[in-house]
Structure 1
Amino acid sequence: MRIGLQLQPQHADYKSIRETAARAEDLGVDIIFNWDHFYPLRGEPEGKHFECWTMLGAWAESTSRVEIGALVTCNSYRNPELLADMARTVDNISDGRLILGIGAGWFEKDYTEYGYEFGTAGSRLADLAEALPRIESRLAKLNPPPTRHIPVLIGGGGEKKTLKLVAQHADIWHGFGKPDVVERKVGILKQHCADVGRDAGEIEISTGVEGDPGELGPKLRDLGVSLFTVGVSGPDHDLEPLKKWIGWRDAHNS
């Protein structure tokens, strides 16, 4: 059972973000994620914000133990071969601590402000389906190669398309929702795995969490969730909820 922190790179100076990542690592968090957006998702729409993959390269040097990754990379923003090379590079810089989180993208302002074609939800998912094999192929060709099989995390709960891509390509599925929602999605994911001939037990189940771990944690754990991720935003990075989830993890794992 693992605890993640999504350190949302909005409304804060980078020094504060770096220091918060260091504090989280010292507290014993297992994974530190950021996200792949160009503008804040909450609060002042034009507030402070930093780019995802540049930051991951810096975290690869400034941290030493935790895994790092994006929750999640937007497939639309980078050529798949380039993304594979970026992932391989950060993986090597970090000595094998990168998780390649990826999704189809959804935040329209990012697209319009940076000149990407927004398309439709269906077209963005089709692009993701086309990109994933290209990423896998490029990772196999790079010299030097990644230090390990880079775990692929796919985020999103679309039952017909996204969860099918998880069954085909992912090592980790990340979703959101109350236990009844998670239960439904996990059931559908298992069916997709059966359809493609894959053992669903190979896929780690991850979810974003809020609130009391003593109440919510056991319910999600019973559904197969093993990665619980707490979100924190600037300008003041409150890690008290993270501490509670880490304490719950430690008590459960002991």
Structure 2
Amino acid sequence: MSPTNPANTPDRPIRIGVQIQPQHADYSQIRDAVLRSEDAGVDVIFNWDHFYPLSGDPAGKHFECWTMLGAWAEQTERVEIGALVSCNSYRNPDLLADMARTVDHMSGGRLILGIGAGWFEKDYDQFGYEFGTAGSRIAKLAQDMPRIRERLAVGNPRPTREIPIMIGGGGEKKTLRIVAEHADVWHSFGDAETLRRKSGILDEHGAAVGRDTGALVERSVGVGAPPSEVADEIVAAGATLLTVSTGGPDYDLSLVKDWVAWRDAQG
């Protein structure tokens, strides 16, 4: 049995995710990394939603997010899948919701709908989207979240479950307010102290909008160090979804396996 986190809800298990960066690799290598990750025992496999590499050769190999998630839905059997995170600016919100509903059915109810306001200017410029400002992109996310929920509610057939919505970002005044209103999972960036402080701000927003975000919103973080170095403090700060990111072409899963072994040892 997976361990629970005393700093969060008493029955929320700790889960290990892996982000398979869809860059600098052939698709066959990405597919192999997904299979190896599921075999290794991870709980969630993520990609990301960009059109160009975020590191290394800026003109290197790269693949599109949602097409890939459809393939992963068929390829995997047990793990949840999703984008960490999908960019709200790149698709009509009703279309995004219907894509999520479809992948939900393809996967047998294993999709997490990760979404954020967007930030990578090259994507916008090269694909013809208006970049705007951080404020305008966040405002658009706030405007679109109700449309996404409404579209999910009217699709035929309905989603197989209430699709969990993960919102990424740490803006204290605006983004965390959107998280408080709409998210089931909040993905934050930074160390344990940052998580603890912003988690408190999230709960203040939750009280303002009438949601018990301490109980209803799972805390998710990226981890880049072995569990022996950071696990205790990050779990004590409230995180229960811990995700390692790995890049192509080799997709080294050694750190992922360390975290899976740590998770299993807690029970």
TM range (shorter): over 0.9
Residues of 2 paired with 1:185 and 1:30: CA distance? Answer: 25
Conserved 8 A contact 2:193-2:237 = no
Q: How does 1:134-149 map to 2 (within 5 A)?
A: 134-149=147-162
Which structure would you say has the larger RCO, counting Cα contacts within 8 Å and 6 or more residues apart?
2
Offset from partner CA, 1:96-140 (integer Å, 9 cap, x none)? 000000000000000000000000000000110011000000011
> Please, which of 17, 33, 39 is the counterpart of residue 26 of structure 1?
39
Q: How many residues align?
A: 253
Residues of 2 paired with 1:205 and 1:20: CA distance? Answer: 25
Determine if the alignment matches structure 1 residue 101 to structure 2 residue 114.
Answer: yes
Task: Structure 2 unaligned segments of length 5 or more: list them.
Answer: 1-13
- Post-superposition shift, 1:176? 1.4
Determine if the alignment matches structure 1 residue 192 to structure 2 residue 205.
Answer: yes
Moved over 6 A (4+): none
Give the structure 1 partner of residue 125 of structure 2: 112
Residues of 2 paired with 1:153 and 1:211: CA distance? Answer: 23
Letter in 2 for 1:190: D
- Post-superposition shift, 1:235? 1.2
Residues of 2 paired with 1:164 and 1:247: CA distance? Answer: 35
Q: How does 1:6-155 map to 2 (within 5 A)?
A: 6-155=19-168
Letter in 2 for 1:208: G
Give the structure 2 partner of residue 231 of structure 1: 245
Q: Root-mean-square deviation (CA), in Å? A: 0.6
Determine if the alignment matches structure 1 residue 204 to structure 2 residue 218.
Answer: yes
Offset from partner CA, 1:71-93 (integer Å, 9 cap, x none)? 00000000000000000000000
Letter in 2 for 1:6: Q
- Post-superposition shift, 1:234? 0.5
Letter in 2 for 1:234: G
Residues of 2 paired with 1:178 and 1:140: CA distance? Answer: 36
Letter in 2 for 1:212: P
Residues of 2 paired with 1:178 and 1:147: CA distance? Answer: 35
- Post-superposition shift, 1:215? 2.3
Residues of 2 paired with 1:217 and 1:99: CA distance? Answer: 24
- Post-superposition shift, 1:95? 0.3
